[in-house]
């Protein structure tokens, strides 16, 4: 596989360079990668979520703000480079990446063309999209929900799906949902009226009785903006009610919650990406791992005061 690119990114060269400096930095930009393992002597193993075989890479040339080059060893062999040039509106990014699988012998080019080119192309494309959103929003992690919240409006069938738990609470049957859902009472930031939103509990910590929820519609969801303006005043879980303390999760903790949710609720995790794509909350190919998708959502923890 040989992939060449030429992209105009509306960010300074030094800022774009920071996401390519080492294989560890790649994971901040490309959602397809998992946790990076340091194998010593400058080599890093970068897992691919859809492959049991990681990319083992080492930086061979690093000119800060100008150029980064790397090589691969092991099952995946090859090299790549990326160059950063100041442009009229930001940075012109050029370069290439060439990867092959020598152990496949004569079948390698066929398998690469039919099975691997599209996924690797999608990885690069997702990185360019995220850098452009970073330029628009000022935050790489919050860029996706901030960008999609304005357009993410559920169709009638999705609205019925999301409103189903609210029906249970509205008819006094919230206890049937156990600790998987909670009813959050909050005050409208403009109207001053009491509002109630039923939210899925991503993670429940029994020892602290803390519940973590995610804003599926991003940081512009009404309930999320309301509790940022004025803290929520009641949480109901089944038949139990309490006055909550709340805190907004930092990105690292949000990612940990996303991992735990995907581990405990595998069916929902597998459905997350197709559902967000169908609703317009993510572009096809933007996410390949539900952990990356869920970790990008704003999260809030509530516990009894």
Q: Give pLDDT tens digits for 27-80.
A: 777 754 556 888 999 999 887 755 667 889 999 999 999 999 999 998 888 999
- At the topology level, CATH places domain 2-138 in Alpha-D-Glucose-1,6-Bisphosphate; Chain A, domain 4 (3.30.530)
Distance CA 63, CA 55 (A): 22
Q: What is the pLDDT of residue 50?
A: 54
pLDDT of 87 reads: 84
Helix axes 266-279, 156-170, angle to 10 degrees: 130
Supply the CATH classification number for the domain 156-304: 2.30.110.10
Q: What span, in angstroms and rounded, lies between the C-alpha atoms of 145 and 252?
A: 17
Q: Where do the structural domains in the chain lie, given as residue ranges?
A: 2-138, 156-304
Give the pLDDT score at 25. Answer: 85
Q: How far does CA 165 lie from the centroid of its chain?
A: 25
The rounded distance, in Å, linking the Cα atoms of 181 and 166 is: 9
68 with 77: CB under 8 angstroms? Answer: no
Residue 242 has pLDDT above 90, yes or no: yes
Q: Which residue has the higher pLDDT, 103 or 235?
A: 235
Q: Print burial letters for 218-249: b (CB count within 10 Å at least 16), e (below 16).
A: bbebebbbbbeeebbeebbbbeeeeebebeeb
pLDDT of 243 reads 95
For residue 226, the cross-strand partners are none
Look at 161-175, 178-192, 290-304 and tell me which has the smallest mean pLDDT: 161-175
Query: What's residue 198's pLDDT?
Result: 92
The pLDDT-based confidence of 150 (bands split at 50, 70, 90) is very low
144, pLDDT greater than 50: no
User: What pLDDT, on the 0 to 100 scale, is given for residue 111?
Assistant: 53
Span 85-90, mean pLDDT? 88
Backbone φ and ψ of 270, nearest 5°: -65, -30
Task: Output the six-digit token pair for 68.
Answer: 């980064």
pTM tops 0.75: no
% of the chain beyond a pLDDT of 70? 81
Confidence of residue 223 (pLDDT cuts 50, 70, 90): very high
């Amino acid at each position: 596989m040989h992939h060449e690119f030429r992209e105009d990114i509306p960010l300074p060269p030094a800022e774009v360079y920071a996401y390519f400096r080492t294989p560890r930095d790649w994971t901040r930009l490309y959602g397809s990668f998992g946790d990076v393992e340091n194998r010593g002597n400058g080599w890093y193993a970068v897992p691919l979520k859809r492959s049991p075989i990681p990319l083992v890479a080492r930086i061979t040339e690093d000119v800060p703000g100008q150029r980064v080059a790397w090589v691969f060893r092991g099952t995946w062999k090859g090299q790549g480079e990326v160059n950063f040039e100041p442009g009229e509106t930001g940075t012109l990014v050029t370069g290439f990446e060439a990867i092959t699988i020598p152990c496949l012998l004569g079948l390698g080019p066929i398998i690469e063309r039919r099975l691997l080119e599209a996924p690797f192309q999608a990885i690069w494309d997702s990185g360019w999209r995220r850098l452009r959103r970073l330029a628009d929003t000022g935050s790489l992690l919050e860029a996706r929900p901030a960008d999609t919240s304005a357009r993410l409006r559920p169709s009638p069938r999705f609205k019925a799906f999301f409103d189903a738990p609210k029906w249970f609470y509205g008819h006094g049957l919230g206890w049937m949902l156990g600790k998987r859902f909670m009813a959050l009472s909050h005050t409208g930031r403009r109207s001053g009226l009491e509002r109630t939103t039923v939210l899925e509990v991503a993670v429940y910590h029994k020892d602290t009785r803390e519940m973590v929820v995610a804003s599926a519609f991003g940081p512009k969801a009404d309930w999320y903006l309301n509790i940022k303006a004025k803290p929520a005043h009641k949480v109901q879980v089944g038949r139990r009610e309490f006055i909550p303390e709340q805190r907004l999760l930092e990105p690292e903790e949000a990612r940990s919650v996303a991992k735990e949710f995907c581990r405990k609720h595998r069916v929902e995790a597998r459905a997350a990406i197709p559902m967000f794509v169908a609703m317009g909350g993510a572009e096809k190919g933007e996410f390949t791992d539900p952990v990356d998708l869920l970790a990008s959502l704003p999260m809030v923890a509530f516990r009894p005061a």
